[in-house]
Structure 1
């Protein structure tokens, strides 16, 4: 388990942004493609609709919009950034999409790289960013969580296609000697269970020369054992959150918000019940967007900041979990613009 062992400097969350595709596909519409229904999907997942990137949109465009909105909230210019971390498992370019994002928003002074941890990616990226800021190596960092899972869904598999959607969300963070908005974290991975949720390479091979062959590039559709993923989440997420609350000497009733990866409403409800957190403190927009992987947490965060639910000084317990398998928890404080 990776955890925060000591503090040097602190970090502050200064702005958030998000972007979603224009096209929303309802459960009823999806029922025209596969044998399913609105009642079947809602009762098992809490999802009513999902957004899918259209022919005139791209993941890069959504990432850029989310980034620009986060910068605008903070009142920062893009050229003041030192680093861009793009958490994604579905890049536009397998060599890395973060440099293209850097160019798109004009962050000419920033280094940029991708980070892949599937649905845990955003939280892992925030923790990574904090280390650069705390060390004094950097002053301002943009973290984006963005995924286009519609590329890799088997749209004829009614068990999995109903779950996923596309989106991007972002935060901007800066170093601080005054306070620390990342008040604690724990990160975990277990590759031994990774086969229950994966997006594996295609095994197709083609002749090369003589008796040699080469593997063709490409990936299979998302493969998921839904029952095992659900059991993993309802067991591990409460456990890591409880460990984090104990480590930071935080009482659950002192939290302002619970912000979990938006995968299944039943998971959100089970975790909230475990800590006796009332429903009105559980942030959820799952019904409108489905599971957008690395984008779910920053998308929900941005919505709640912009509609006034999350205010400066609010404390948030967050957890990301998913493929890898990977999962983590963080205790956050929202500062907002200076």
Structure 2
């Protein structure tokens, strides 16, 4: 019988360094009030020189394993677009530093949708009988690819990592992922992109302008696409689960900005206060945003055992995805 993937533990990590809106306003010709009104963000965390994505992933992963009772996973799936280096993948190093000898470990690159893609991947590993337990981590250090002069991206992103442990279980138990929906549209590749550094640019042997090594985002188009795609994905996964929007206790969206999150809730016909909000303190943390939001909400009691959750994300690629589950009786460490 095919086993379900059940969330059994959760952990998170953010860098110690806090970056306030006022700190950014000094060099980006903006104000705390403008940033709050545009994004809903008050602070974010950025890594210090010498730190890397793996450092945050290891800490979040270790906490998720401890939260799940300490049993080690047989696979590690790391969702990130800011690996420690272009080659090799960062997940094997994370697994090694966690003391997981010989386990399957690999990266998933789906930008801000990465964690949902990681959940789907972990579900597949369990369903195929490859692993009984899978550690799924979303970790990004977007501060390392930000243009220090670009106000449109410089105020939005933060660094962080969140992780969950999946174990094989039954479909009707709390924590079991009920349904998943994934999608992509490669015609929107240039809407969220780092133009330089890949094979297309490198094959020309040209030296790219410095600005092409940083993240670029077409804000208005991304806003429009993200709301549409997340709403459509949510509707698809709710139908597969057999839920109506009114059945959902908490919407846990990718923490892009508050206006996008509110628009998704409005389009789904949900009260805005059902959406879990974490970006006010950590900003948009890309693949880490959903597990970070879950960890904070579980710690503070905003998400409780028995709550029916709808997770949804949108990212570069373009990619999107959603998932449903009933929250189990677990707490972050």
Give the TM-score normalised by the residue count of structure 2: 0.92
- The residue aligned with 2:40 is 46
- The residue aligned with 2:19 is 25
What count of residue pairs does the alignment treat as equivalent?
324
Deviation, 1:280, is: 2.9
- With 309-318 and 16-25 compared, the bigger mean Cα shift is at 309-318
Unaligned runs of 5+ in 1: 1-6, 207-212
Please give the root-mean-square deviation of Cα atoms over the aligned residues, in Å. 2.1
- Per the alignment, in what secondary structure is the counterpart of residue 290 of structure 2? helix
- Per the alignment, in what secondary structure is the counterpart of residue 200 of structure 1? coil
Cα distance change on mapping 1:65 and 1:191 into 2, 3 Å: same
After TM superposition, the runs of 4+ consecutive aligned structure 1 residues lying more than 6 A away are 203-206, 216-219
Identify the structure with the greater helix proportion: 2
User: Counterparts of 2:122 and 2:207 in 1: how far apart (Å)?
Assistant: 35
Of structures 1 and 2, the larger Rg is shown by: 1
Alpha-carbon contact 2:171-2:178 (below 8 Å) kept: no
Where do residues 83-102 of structure 1 align in structure 2 (5 Å cutoff)? Answer: 83-94=75-86, 95-102=88-95
- The residue aligned with 1:144 is 137
Alpha-carbon contact 1:11-1:179 (below 8 Å) kept: no
Unaligned runs of 5+ in 2: none
Alpha-carbon contact 2:44-2:282 (below 8 Å) kept: yes
Asked if 1:75 is matched to 2:69, the reply is: yes
- Per the alignment, in what secondary structure is the counterpart of residue 305 of structure 1? helix
Alpha-carbon contact 2:171-2:177 (below 8 Å) kept: no
User: Counterparts of 2:15 and 2:285 in 1: how far apart (Å)?
Assistant: 11
Asked if 1:154 is matched to 2:143, the reply is: no
Q: Tell me which of 8, 11, 16 is aligned to 2:2.
A: 8
- Per the alignment, in what secondary structure is the counterpart of residue 242 of structure 2? coil
User: 1:262-312 CA distances to partner (integer Å, 9 max, x unpaired)?
Assistant: 001001111112223223321001111111100000000111112222222
- The residue aligned with 2:187 is 192
- With 35-44 and 271-280 compared, the bigger mean Cα shift is at 271-280
- The residue aligned with 2:229 is 236
- Per the alignment, in what secondary structure is the counterpart of residue 70 of structure 1? helix
Deviation, 1:221, is: 0.6
